[in-house]
Amino acid sequence: MIDEWLVFLLLFLAPVVSSIPIALAYKSKGWTEKLPYLSVFGIFVSVLMSLYILFVVPKNQQFVYDWVPDLGINIVLITDYLSRYMGVITALIAFFIAIYGLDYMRGDYRPSWYWFFFNLFTASMLLVVYSDNLFLLFVGWEGLGAASWGLIGHWFRDDDEIAYVGVPKRKVGPLELSWPPSFGGWRAISTIRFGDVPMFFAIAAIWVFAGTLNISEINWESLFLTIGCAGTIILLVLLLLGLLTKSAQVPFSEWLMTAMTGPTTVSALLHSATMVAAGAFVFIKLTWYIKPWELHHVPGLNYVYIFALFIGLISGLYGALSASGMLERKVLLAASTMSSLGLMFGVAAASYWIHEEIAGMNFALLVAFWYMAVHAFAKASLFLVSGHLIHATHSRFSVGDFEFGKRMKTAFGVTIIATTFLIGMPPFTAYWVKSGMDEVMEHLIHHGMVIPIVLLILTSLVYSAILARFLSLNFIKGEKPEHEHVEGGGLMKLGYVMMVSMLFVLVYLIFTSAETAGFVHAGFIPTSFAVGMAILVAYVIAIYKPRIPSLAKLGAFFNDRMYLPFVNDYILPKTGFFVSHLVQDYGNRGIDGFFNTKVMPGLFERISKGIRTIQTGYLTNYVKIVLGLVMIFLVIASIGGILI
């Protein structure tokens, strides 16, 4: 039996420590070609440790190590259901992507930077997953933010058009809708920070009012009742801001689109098991322990959950619709990810109204979590494929005809599997989970909410169509690529084949695990089957007709993300720079002029000059001054005399 602390130490530190050598050897070309293997090995150690935790370490147990024990800030790790599985998912996906990255990033101009941040990214996510202490979780959370900044802006030179998002020099109104990598990085961290600080504040408030930072130990009911209705709403909305910005829900979705300026491996990791998933994961985890379905008597809580439900579902539809007009491979997938995350948020929020429990766990949360798992492997596969396609065609736009598809057999096959398994087509993996989702949203009708199920079905149909479109435009009905470079890429293929094969494992698990029995049950309900068939129809139609010329204008509107970039790229910066202009050109210049350069120095100069002009040396001047002083004295004295 190995001590648990050693397992956790290896789990978190192996990726970081193993990437330090390559970070230090940044000057040596020879070393930076060899050392990535060490970094990948570090992630492999994490995989082993996460598997060890899944199978050997006792379940539902807390492990506490001192940090600042007097104040309740401790290293508290937990092995509950969510952490155990999510840990394995994270480590495995990072490992597969890392193998792929050995090929994909070969010959890059700064491998040290890439591998250091890639491994930091993985370690941070693992910290978020296993942490029970909110402060520790936030350390991992900030690690995600910093690492994503580093990776998205990896190609900092902005000199290669292939790393841009948007069509260079394409202008819509006053805005040029194209973004270079260095901008993508800055956009990511500035948006995320906008949510992180409110979340940090909420954590501080929980610390004060709950008396503990450990998620599983907080008595949420008494916490909410103590702070009252307004307190509950403000606290949870501030907390949610952190999760929603991380998960790129509307209106914070822009950073996710411009994040596609990073290397594809980064996009794959960012979109599946880390970063954006972190927001949804933490929401599921918090809801898991808040148990809102038991807290209907807490005032204010229902508003928060309705808010989360609709933000999620609206983001779902917004993402899917936006993707329907996109031609850039990665941006299309990014918008679809946003859509999926919206569904996760929506379903997890619906748990407020769901009392059904399976194996002691809330059904809605199980659905959200399993959808996250399926989505992670499927989306990562699709990203890895599109990275390979970018290498093969030297284009980030969807191109590829059937001839090309035949030459890229592995990628073609993997895309077919990943898309069909993800959209919810019967009988593949996601169908069962999505049926559960249908059931959850259907249940909301009993609570007077019809819109959620409508939004869900609409989103599912559009979602199915966009992934079919992705398949069709890249392998079947796209234009013939100008460049074709289909040889090699062995490790890349290995990476996405392993990734996609996990979807079969998941479908096996769905049919054999006790907690997923509800999904199978839901899958055999006729309405779920009808939705599944509709999804299938949408998929087939979109493959057959991926582009509809008569809707080109609508497509352009969707492609421009319904002009949301105007908020992020026009209104906000214009306002900010206007304030800066005011404070700098009026405020600072005015104060500087007053104290340092004009008014005060001028005043002193004049007084000094005045005093100096007195000292001319003429006796008459001094006599005049003395007489004047005497006169003043006499006046004062006489007034004083009268008064007395």
Partner 1 sequence: MIMLYFLLLPLIVVFIAPLLTPKKSTYLSSLAFIIPFFSILYCIFRGCPSEIHIMNFSPPIGEIYLNFDFISNAFGLTICVVSAMVALFALPYMKHRFEEMERNVESEFRRYIFLYDLYAVSMLWLVYSGNLILLYIFLEITLITAFLLIYFYGYGNRRWVGLLYLIWCAIAGVLTLAGFIIIAFDPVNNTLALKGITAVGMLAWGFIFVGMLIELPVLGPHIWLPWAHAEAPTPVSALLSPLTVGLAGYVLLRIALIDYSFIETYRMPILAYAIFSSIYAGFSVFKQTDFKRLLAYSTVSQMGYILVALCLGPFGLIGLVIQYMSHAFGKSILFSSAGGIIAVHHGLRDINKMGGLHDSIPGISNAAVVGFLNLGGILTVGMLGEFFILRGVVDTFLRPDSPSFLGWTGSLPILLAVIFMFILSVWYGFYTIRKVFYGKPKDTKRLEISRYFYVPLFIIGILSVLLLFPPLSTALIQGLNAIPGLGLGGVVP
Alpha carbon distances (Å) from 482 to 289, 393, 509: 54, 7, 43
Interface with partner 1 includes 142 (CB under 8 A)? yes
Q: In angstroms, give the least distance from the CB of 228 to partner 1.
A: 7
Neighbours of 616 (CB within 10 A): 10
Interface with partner 1 includes 602 (CB under 8 A)? no
Count the site residues for partner 1 by CB under 8 A.
Answer: 64
Alpha carbon distances (Å) from 542 to 23, 325, 470, 477, 536: 46, 12, 9, 11, 10
Q: Judged by CB, which is closer to partner 1: 556, or 583?
A: 583
Interface with partner 1 includes 591 (CB under 8 A)? yes
Q: In angstroms, give the least distance from the CB of 165 to partner 1.
A: 16
Interface with partner 1 includes 603 (CB under 8 A)? no
User: Among 28, 69, 170, 219, which residue interacts with partner 1 (rule: CB under 8 A)?
Assistant: 69
Q: In angstroms, give the least distance from the CB of 171 to partner 1.
A: 20
Of 4-12, 143-151, 407-415, 498-506: span binding partner 1 (CB under 8 A):
143-151
Q: Say which DSSP state 563 is in.
A: G
Measured CA to CA, the distance from residue 528 to residue 54 in angstroms comes to: 32
Neighbours of 532 (CB within 10 A): 25
Report the site for partner 1 in 376-405 (rule: CB under 8 A). none
> 175-179 and 165-172 as β-strands: parallel, antiparallel, unpaired?
antiparallel
Interface with partner 1 includes 143 (CB under 8 A)? yes
Contact (CB, 8 A) for 312 and 349: yes
User: Among 34, 170, 406, 581, which residue interacts with partner 1 (rule: CB under 8 A)?
Assistant: 581
Interface with partner 1 includes 153 (CB under 8 A)? yes
Measured CA to CA, the distance from residue 353 to residue 446 in angstroms comes to: 9
Interface with partner 1 includes 135 (CB under 8 A)? yes
Report the site for partner 1 in 18-57 (rule: CB under 8 A). 26
Measured CA to CA, the distance from residue 190 to residue 334 in angstroms comes to: 19
Amino acid at position 367, single letter: V
Interface with partner 1 includes 71 (CB under 8 A)? yes
User: Among 13, 64, 205, 416, which residue interacts with partner 1 (rule: CB under 8 A)?
Assistant: 205
Return phi, psi of residue 244, to 5°: -70, -40
Interface with partner 1 includes 170 (CB under 8 A)? no
Q: Judged by CB, which is closer to partner 1: 72, or 436?
A: 72
Interface with partner 1 includes 70 (CB under 8 A)? yes
User: Among 9, 17, 63, 193, which residue interacts with partner 1 (rule: CB under 8 A)?
Assistant: 193
Long-range CB contacts for residues 54-60, cutoff 8 Å, separation at least 24: 54/84, 54/85, 54/87, 54/88, 57/4, 57/7, 59/84
DSSP string, 429-477: HHHHHHHHHHHHHHHHGGGT--HHHHHHHHHHHHHHHHHHHHHIIIIIB
Interface with partner 1 includes 584 (CB under 8 A)? yes
Of 229-237, 400-408, 522-530, 617-625: span binding partner 1 (CB under 8 A):
229-237
Q: Judged by CB, which is closer to partner 1: 68, or 642?
A: 68
DSSP string, 219-268: -HHHHHHHHHHHHHHHHHHHHHHHHHHHTT-TTS-HHHHHGGGS-HHHHH
What residues make contact with partner 1 under the rule CB under 8 A?
26, 65-71, 73, 75, 110, 135, 138-139, 142-143, 145-146, 149, 153, 156-159, 180, 182-183, 185-186, 189-190, 193-194, 197-198, 200-201, 203-205, 207-209, 227-228, 230-231, 234-235, 238, 576-577, 579-581, 583-585, 587-588, 591-592, 595-596
